[in-house]
Every structure is written in structure tokens, then in C-alpha cells.
Amino acid sequence: MVQNMAARRADMADRLGRSAFELFAREGLEGANLDEIAAHAGVTKGSLYWHYGSRQELVLAACNHYYRRWQRQVHAVLAPLTDPMARLRRALDFSVRSCVADPANRRFTTGLFALMQSDAAVRSSWFQFYDTVREFYLGLVAAAKAAGVFPPGDARPRVDLMLEAMEGLKLRAAFEPHIADPDEQAAVAAGLLEVVVGRPGSHTVQYGGKPAASRRGAKGGGA
Amino acid sequence: MVQNMAARRADMADRLGRSAFELFAREGLEGANLDEIAAHAGVTKGSLYWHYGSRQELVLAACNHYYRRWQRQVHAVLAPLTDPMARLRRALDFSVRSCVADPANRRFTTGLFALMQSDAAVRSSWFQFYDTVREFYLGLVAAAKAAGVFPPGDARPRVDLMLEAMEGLKLRAAFEPHIADPDEQAAVAAGLLEVVVGRPGSHTVQYGGKPAASRRGAKGGGA
DNA sequence: TCTGGACCATACCGATCGGTACGCGGGGGA
DNA sequence: TCCCCCGCGTACCGATCGGTATGGTCCAGA
């Protein structure tokens, strides 16, 4: 019974964190207030301030919810795949789609980046998440390398560059919505793959029979 | 005298726009209020609402100030250079430095990106600026191409990718400040240059003291 | 000199919102 | 059965801030 109480307590705290994330993602970090967050979780502000001491704590809880959701989603997306290069492609496709075709994701993360500039707690929270994402992609690249793909040089700056481009892509998707078109998404994902593992043909690659329907490969400039 | 009045009017409007940009860059778009913006310009809110009809108009004025300032700065930085490749390198260095070593720049732009998600006027304003920046870099790449550098494929997606990485770099600099170190800045700029014009040695290049083995010879750019 | 309007200061309003004080019900332990 | 405290609701406070109403001042033109 005592663990039942503890479970109910943790459950409500989690519900409040999820509610905060959903409303922050829908109305922005500055747009959603604590009353509607509590109402969206089925309680009132009294309960909210019982579980969280301040608004900032709730923001960090929403961040943790976002991080865990990302890990669950990317794990679910990669679960049925075993080929390292296919897993890398799929991960990039998923990330690109999340960035360009999910306005809620954009609203939440852009609000976080704005808050991050003057909030050290949010900064370090996001930094830990970014580090896990980077290590995740480094693992994918290492697996691809072990499977016969040989990207030149060190993988870490390439993954960093790819992740920077991914975040910049998320920003650009806000004012150039045409990059959410499926073919544009594929082209962008191909470009990011190229950033990570190098240009196809410039070194030994083995990945899939898919001829990469990217217009980037048109190469009509010289010939 | 009538143009004197008009000049004074435009001058005060510009002072207010500049004051808004400075305080938005110092305290964030949500952190600065209209009273201190007016006080920083030497007037009060009554004058502010005479020149601008709402807070959003003032934000757009601050944006225009930011855009013009960027163009002035980049023009001043590139003015003494004539070699196309050196101009491209210098532009990238300047942009990277602005992104990673200028917290005020980061605060302003991140606030803009957050606001952009729910403000169409800010979106289109930034889109126009982004387009001018893209065309500017496309011009630099075209000049380099005419001078003997042959990046593979179309330059436009490469410039887009570079600008996306630049914005992502700005975000990352907030929570990984070590990339503001001079050597890291140089490495990042080199990576962005590689994104735009390709890897040195993988095609014909002529820039600064790095004599690449030209395999395909001088194949005149557009001719 | 008179007048009107541009320009700006002052004072104020009202809505919003984070945070707090306090009361209450209900479940678990003695 | 009694009591205690956890979890939560209700009501409220106070500060902030965008926006407005109003009046004053100075200059240009008639």
C-alpha cells in the first residue's frame, strides 16, 4: 500500500510533466501557463505546486519527458532493422521528419533554446540530452564502419556537423515549409547521411540497392 | 525644414528600433519590456507608441536593424579582399564568430525563432533575410567557381546545408561554450567550407598555397 | 500672432500569471 | 476509533506589462 501511494505520487508527477510538455509544445514555453497545464492534467495548481516547486522545475520535467519520448520513438523505429547502414538511414529519416513535419516539436525546442540562453539548468539538461544523441549516432556510425563503410577521418566532428545541420533544418522548416515535402525530406536526409559517412562513390560503401532518390545526386553541372 | 522634421522623425524611429534590438539581445525578446526600451532610447513609452503601433512592430523594427547591421558588418569584413576563395573563407569565419562568440546575437535570434513559430510576420521577415544571406553566399560560391574552384553538383543545397549547420552551431554554442575557442572556430569554419565547396583534394582547387592535384584539368565553369 | 498638428511625458487601466495561504477530505497507522 | 498527514482544491495576492487617455510643448505655416 505504501508503494501504491508512492506509485500514485510518481504517476501524478509524470502526468503533470507530460501535460506541461504537451501544452508547451502546443502554445510555446511562454504561452502556456500553470493553470491550464494543471487543468490539462486533471488537477489544479495546488497539486502542481505540491509536486513541483517552481515553474522552472516543471519545464525541466517537460524536458525529461521529451528526452524519454525521443529515445522511445527512435528505439521503436530502429528495432526491426539490423543492417547498420539501414539503421543509420532510418534514424536520419526519423530525425528529419521530426524536425520538419512536427510543429509541436519545433515550438518546444525553439522555446527551450530561447530559455537556454539565460537559464543554466535548462542548458545543462539539454547538454546531457545532446550528448546522448551524439553518442547514439556515433554508435550507429561505428556499427556501419564495422560493417564495411569507411567514412574518412574522425566520425565525431561529422556527427556534430550533422546534428547542427539537423537543428538548423528544424529552424528553417518554420519559415520554408516546402522542405517538409517527402522528396525534399529524402534529399535532406541524403545530404545529412553524406555529411556523416561521406559522399557515395568517394570511398568504399556497401549500403543498400536503393539508388538514393535524391536530387542532390543529379550532378548535372559539368557533364 | 520639412525634411528636417521628417529626418528627426525617422531618426527617433531608428533609435527606438536600435534600442529595442540592443535590449532584446541583452535580455531576450520576452525579457525586455517597452518601458526600458524607451528609456534606453532616451524617451518614454508615449513616444514609442507614437512611432510604433504595437510591440510586434517594434520587434520587426529590431529585426530590420539586425539585418542591416549584418549586411554592414559582412560588407566591411569582405571589403579589403578580392580573391573569391579568401572572401568565402572570411565570410565563413565572420559568420562562425558571430554565432559562437556573441551571446547577444544568440539571445536575439533564438528569441526570434521561438516567436517565429506562432508569428507569421516574424516568419516572413526572417525568411526574406535568410534569402538574402543565401543569395550572398551563392554569389561568393559562384565567384569562387569562376576563379577555378569546382565544387561538385549544385551549389544551392550545399549553401542551404551550410546555413543550417551555422544556425545549429549557434544553438550548440549556448551549451557547449568550448566551441568558441579560436582553434575550434577555425575547425568549424573549415568544416563549413568543406560543406560548400567540397573536400580539398577531391576535386580541383586552387586556393591558398594548397596545390591540389588537378585530375580533370581546367574545365571552364559555365563555358 | 494665432492655430493646428507633430511629438512626447505622465498617469493610469486592466488583464495576466507565478506563487502562496489555508482549508478539507480521505486513507493509513496506533 | 482517533489522529495525522498526504494530496489536492480554492481563493487570493502582488508584481509585471502592454496598451491607452490626456495634456503639455514646440515648431511651421497662414
Tell me the pLDDT tens digit for each residue of A85-133: 999 999 999 999 999 999 999 999 999 999 999 999 999 999 999 999 9
Mean pLDDT score, B144-162: 89
B17 CA to C3 C1' distance (Å) = 33
Chain A residues in contact with B124 by the CB 8 A cut-off are: 175
pLDDT of residue B8: 65
Q: Which residues contact B222 (CB under 8 A, 6 or more apart)?
A: B146
More confident residue, B100 or A203: B100
- What are the backbone angles phi and psi of residue B174, rounded to the nearest 5°? -70, -35
Among A208, A169, A215, A218, smallest CA distance to A192 is for A169
Instruction: Give Cβ neighbours of residue B12 (< 8 Å, ≥ 6 apart).
Output: B41, B43, B47, B51
Residues 43-62, chain A, CB closer than 7 Å to nucleic strand D = 43-47, 50-51
Distance CA A165, CA A168 (A): 5
B32/D16 CA-to-C1' distance in Å:
12
Contact residues, chain A, for B126 at CB < 8 Å: 175
User: Protein A33 CA to nucleic acid C16 C1', in Å?
Assistant: 10
Residue A219: its pLDDT value, please? 38
How much is the pLDDT for B71?
A: 98
What tens digit of pLDDT does each residue of B50-70 get?
Answer: 999 999 999 999 999 999 999
* Complex ipTM: 0.89
| Residues A62/A21, Cβ–Cβ less than 8 Å | yes
Query: Residue A216 pLDDT more than 80?
Result: no
Whether A104 has its CB under 8 Å from any CB of chain B: the answer is: no
A56 in contact with B, Cβ within 8 Å? no
Under 8 Å between Cβ of B136 and B74:
yes
Candidate from A30, A175, A199 with C-beta closest to B116? A175
User: In 10 A of CB B67, how many CB atoms?
Assistant: 17
- pLDDT higher than threshold 60 for residue B164: yes
Find out whether A91 and A80 touch, Cβ atoms under 8 Å. Answer: no
Contacts of B169 in chain A (CB under 8 A): 164, 168
The closest of B59, B77, B84, B41 to B193, measured between CA atoms, is: B84
- CA–CA min distance B4, chain A (Å): 39
CB contact under 8 A, A160 and B172: yes
Q: Which residue shows C-alpha cell 533609435?
A: B15
Q: Which residue segments constitute the domains of chain B, with CATH numbers given?
A: 1-62 (1.10.10.60), 81-223 (1.10.357)
Is residue A47's pLDDT more than 80?
yes
Q: From the alpha carbon of B47, which nucleotide's C1' atom is closest?
A: C8
> What pLDDT score was predicted for residue A5?
61
Contacts of A114 in chain B (CB under 8 A): 28-30, 107, 110-111, 113-114
Helix axes of A155-175 and B155-175: crossing angle, nearest 10 degrees = 100
Angle between helices B155-175 and B103-116 (to 10 degrees): 110
Mean pLDDT computed over every residue of chain B:
89
pLDDT band for position A210 (cuts 50, 70, 90): very low
Mean pLDDT, range A158-173, rounded to an integer: 98
- Distance, in Å, from the CA atom of B18 to the CA atom of B161, rounded to the nearest integer, reads 31
Q: How confident is the model over B169-200, as pLDDT tens digits?
A: 999 999 999 999 999 999 999 999 999 998 76
CB contacts < 8 A (A, B): 138
Indicate the average pLDDT of chain A: 89
Name which of A110, A122, A159, A219 to mutate to probe chain B: the one with the most chain B Cβ atoms within 10 A of its Cβ: A110
A86, A208 contact by CB (below 8 A): yes
- Grid coordinates given for A190: 541524403
Distance A50 CA to D2 C1' (A): 27
**Stretch B97-125: mean pLDDT, rounded?**
98
Kindly report, residue by residue over B95-110, the tens digit of the pLDDT: 999 999 999 999 999 9
Quote the pLDDT of residue B151.
73
A36-53 core/surface letters (b: 16 or more CB in 10 A; e: else): ebbebbebeeebbeebbe
Task: Quote the DSSP letter at residue A107.
Answer: H
d(CA B70, CA B6): 26
Q: What would the 3-class secondary structure string for chain B be? A: CHHHHHHHHHHHHHHHHHHHHHHHHHHCCCCCCHHHHHHHCCCCHHHHHHHCCCHHHHHHHHHHHHHHHHHHHHHHHHCCCCCHHHHHHHHHHHHHHHHHCCHHHHHHHHHHHHHHCCCHHHHHHHHHHHHHHHHHHHHHHHHHHHCCCCCCCCHHHHHHHHHHHHHHHHHHHHHCHHHHCHHHHHHHHHHHHHHHHCCCCCCCCCCCCCCCCCCCCCCCCCC
The length of chain B in residues reads 223
Task: State yes or no: pLDDT of B219 exceeds 60.
Answer: no
CB atoms within 10 A of CB A8: 10
**Which position has the higher pLDDT, A62 or B216?**
A62
- Tell me, what's the pLDDT at A4? 62
Mark which residues 112-141 of B lie under 8 Å from A by CB.
113-114, 116-118, 123-124, 126-127, 130
Confidence of residue A199 (pLDDT cuts 50, 70, 90): confident
Cα–Cα distance, A143 to A81 (Å, whole number): 13
Percent of chain A with pLDDT over 90: 80
- Give A46's pLDDT tier (boundaries 50, 70, 90): very high
B39 CB-to-strand C distance under 7 Å: no
CB-nearest to B153 from A30, A176, A221 is A221
What is the reported pLDDT for A87?
98
For chain B residues 48-77, those near strand C by a CB cutoff of 7 A are: 50-51
In angstroms, the CA of A60 and the C1' of C20 are apart by 22
- Please report the pLDDT score of residue B149 as a whole number: 80
